[in-house]
Structure 1
Amino acid sequence: MARTIEDIKNGMTAEWIRQPAVMSAYGLDGKKTFKDCFSAASLENILFYVFAFAVWSLESLFDMHRQEVEQLIEGLEPHTLRWYVAKTKAYMQGCKLVADSDYYDTSAMSPTDIETAKVVKYAVATESNTVVYIKVARQDADGNPAKLTDTQLAGLRSYLDEIKDAGVSVQVRNEPADDMRIALVIYYDPTLLSVDGNGAGILSDGSEPVRETVQSVITGLPFNGVFRKSDLMAALQALPCVEVADIAEVKVKPHNSQEWQTVSGFNRPYSGYYSINSLTVDYQPYKTVE
């Protein structure tokens, strides 16, 4: 990492002012620093600043060069899961690869066109029994993960077959969001929250903090991130209107499965993301005195 101009200059001047010839020529006693002997406007100070700036510029160029080389090396890492994820996200719908390569010619495309063509916004790769599994998803109008269309999936599979390493089996998992059912018991502060005739817990501004918090926790998970019941509990308990929160039950299942699985502690979605199908909240006023 490049040193600062001041550090470079201080090192140069400290060594220079200790030289016997310099001490003799300037009549120095060796007890004072360069700054004590030469003003900021002196020719010596200006020259050393120029020298230090030149050295700093060179060191900065070396840093930039090293970073570029590291990025190139990272991009040339075949056989790694990270490489497969990067290549999957680089897929461009409706575009053709440069002949005998694994990249596109985007010189005639605008940044907006490039971003639109990259339909895979979420991807994660795992390996099991010599097979690379890649979970993928696009982004819907609301910014949430969604299943690729049949056309997008067919194009992606063809693209991966063309760029993958010989002998490697790649399986793309393109699934709708895992279904999720959540049942809560919320003991609330009646001075802050009220429950209407439909059983909704509402603040004075009309918002439903409990439901909004649950939705935020689930949609805020990273793609293929682990859902932890303790994280949901902590988020609910942090609400000022909630005195005690209890998660009665959380059940999940892949969208196309028939069997629901009760979550005990944590769960990782089969598809990579969740969709809340049912959220039941039993509101109870919190009473400290019976």
Structure 2
Amino acid sequence: MRTIDQIKESIAADFMKNETVAGLFGFPAGDNFTTHFSKVSIINILFYVFASAAWVLERLFEAHKSEVEARIEEIIPHRAKWYKSKVLEFMKDKVLIPDTDCYDTTDMKAEAIAAAHVVKYATADENKDTSIVTIKVAGEEAGHRCRLSDEVETQLEGYLAEIKDAGVRINLVNADADTFNCSVDIYYNAMLLPENVQRACEAAIRNYIENLPFNGEYTNMALIDTLQEVEGVKIAEFRQATTVAAGAATVTTIDARHVPAAGYFRAGQITLTMKAYERV
């Protein structure tokens, strides 16, 4: 949005460019306004009044635009990203203002508001074939992603039922982390102790796996790229990676890439076969 001074400068610039005006006042067309008109001149005061009126008018139009956009947003079906943002706004043990999708936090302190926002991670995706919106969520405990409690999950389901668009079906996923396992051959610099390189590799794998963006995609290539950055690693040769969703009995072999069912991983069995690197 333009300020009053910016609007006034624009008016003055157009005024100074006008050749007819320049002839009447006796200055070269396009000259500087402040060179010929002081702050207390009638022309300068009039321009300020005009600029102030224009500024108010622009603010009114902007307010009207925002109201119209908000009304349209209420009328049209919401997109998946709206559901994500609303889930992150969910507040534990709080009820919505009647006939709205908002909470009354007027009498709440910032600490209480932060404590009620228990959903720390969320993502929403719509299946185009079934028109089901799948929402994955997770909380946080001791700096790690975790499953929300059963009580919170029940409250969240009630919240979603209240705010969702009519006819929209929601699949809420609130689960423990998928377990990630992998096997890699590490060819290490023989001048270093293999156990030190191994510990560094294990830490790098855990850091990569457990800090992927929520519902982000794991790739075997990125895992190897991560290991190649570890000091002492000459070659990292990928063998296998598998994953198991929480509560599932089926072990899934990861072929190139994988998105965790829960939206996040925890590192499980990391098998590193250490081999001293020898130049051929």
TM-score in terms of structure 1 length: 0.78
Equivalent position to 2:197, from 201, 214, 223: 201
Q: Deviations over 1:260-279 (max 9, x none)?
A: 11111100111111111111
Contact 2:184 2:238 in 1 (8 A): yes
Query: Is structure 2 residue 154 aligned with structure 1 residue 154?
Result: yes
Q: What is the aligned partner in structure 2 of residue 258 from structure 1? A: 249
Q: Deviations over 1:21-55 (max 9, x none)?
A: 424533x455xx524x965x97279949x849859
Q: What is the aligned partner in structure 2 of residue 87 from structure 1? A: 86
Give 5+ residue unaligned stretches, structure 2: none
Is the alpha carbon distance of 1:5 and 1:99 closer, same or farther for their aligned partners in structure 2, counting shifts above 3 Å? Answer: closer
Is the alpha carbon distance of 1:21 and 1:146 closer, same or farther for their aligned partners in structure 2, counting shifts above 3 Å? Answer: closer
Contact 1:38 1:45 in 2 (8 A): no
Give the paired residue count. Answer: 273
Distance in 2 (CA, whole Å) between partners of 1:70 and 1:222 is: 35
Q: What is the aligned partner in structure 2 of residue 119 from structure 1? A: 118
Q: What is the aligned partner in structure 2 of residue 140 from structure 1? A: 141
Which deviates more, 65-74 or 211-220?
65-74
Is the alpha carbon distance of 1:151 and 1:74 closer, same or farther for their aligned partners in structure 2, counting shifts above 3 Å? Answer: farther
Q: CA deviation at 1:5?
A: 6.1
Contact 2:15 2:21 in 1 (8 A): no
Is the alpha carbon distance of 1:168 and 1:38 closer, same or farther for their aligned partners in structure 2, counting shifts above 3 Å? Answer: closer
Is the alpha carbon distance of 1:195 and 1:66 closer, same or farther for their aligned partners in structure 2, counting shifts above 3 Å? Answer: farther
Query: Is structure 2 residue 184 aligned with structure 1 residue 184?
Result: yes
Distance in 1 (CA, whole Å) between partners of 2:160 and 2:227 is: 42
Query: Is structure 2 residue 220 aligned with structure 1 residue 233?
Result: no
1:1-290 → structure 2 map (5 Å cutoff): 2=2, 9=9, 12-13=12-13, 15-23=15-23, 25-26=25-26, 28=27, 30=29, 33-35=30-32, 39=35, 43=38, 47=44, 51=48, 61=59, 65=63, 68-69=66-67, 72=70, 76=74, 78-128=77-127, 129-142=130-143, 144-191=144-191, 193-196=192-195, 200-201=196-197, 208-288=199-279, 290=280
Is the alpha carbon distance of 1:112 and 1:73 closer, same or farther for their aligned partners in structure 2, counting shifts above 3 Å? Answer: farther
Q: Secondary structure of the residue that 2:159 maps to in structure 1? A: helix
Contact 1:3 1:56 in 2 (8 A): no
Contact 1:2 1:59 in 2 (8 A): no
Structure having the larger proportion of residues in helix: 2
Identity %: 24
RMSD, matched Cα: 3.5
Is the alpha carbon distance of 1:216 and 1:3 closer, same or farther for their aligned partners in structure 2, counting shifts above 3 Å? Answer: farther
Contact 1:5 1:56 in 2 (8 A): no
Q: Secondary structure of the residue that 1:43 maps to in structure 2? A: coil
Give 5+ residue unaligned stretches, structure 1: 203-207
Which deviates more, 76-85 or 60-69?
60-69
Q: CA deviation at 1:60?
A: 8.1
Contact 1:137 1:148 in 2 (8 A): yes
Q: Deviations over 1:140-199 (max 9, x none)?
A: 121x221111111111112222333333332211111011101111222344x4223xxx
Q: CA deviation at 1:13?
A: 2.6
Q: Deviations over 1:234-255 (max 9, x none)?
A: 2222334322222211101212
Amino acid in the other structure paired with 2:116: A
Q: Secondary structure of the residue that 2:85 maps to in structure 1? A: helix
Amino acid in the other structure paired with 1:219: E
Contact 1:146 1:177 in 2 (8 A): yes
Q: CA deviation at 1:72?
A: 3.3
Is the alpha carbon distance of 1:217 and 1:56 closer, same or farther for their aligned partners in structure 2, counting shifts above 3 Å? Answer: farther
Is the alpha carbon distance of 1:15 and 1:245 closer, same or farther for their aligned partners in structure 2, counting shifts above 3 Å? Answer: farther
Is the alpha carbon distance of 1:126 and 1:38 closer, same or farther for their aligned partners in structure 2, counting shifts above 3 Å? Answer: closer
Amino acid in the other structure paired with 2:186: I
Contact 1:147 1:174 in 2 (8 A): yes
Contact 2:3 2:55 in 1 (8 A): no
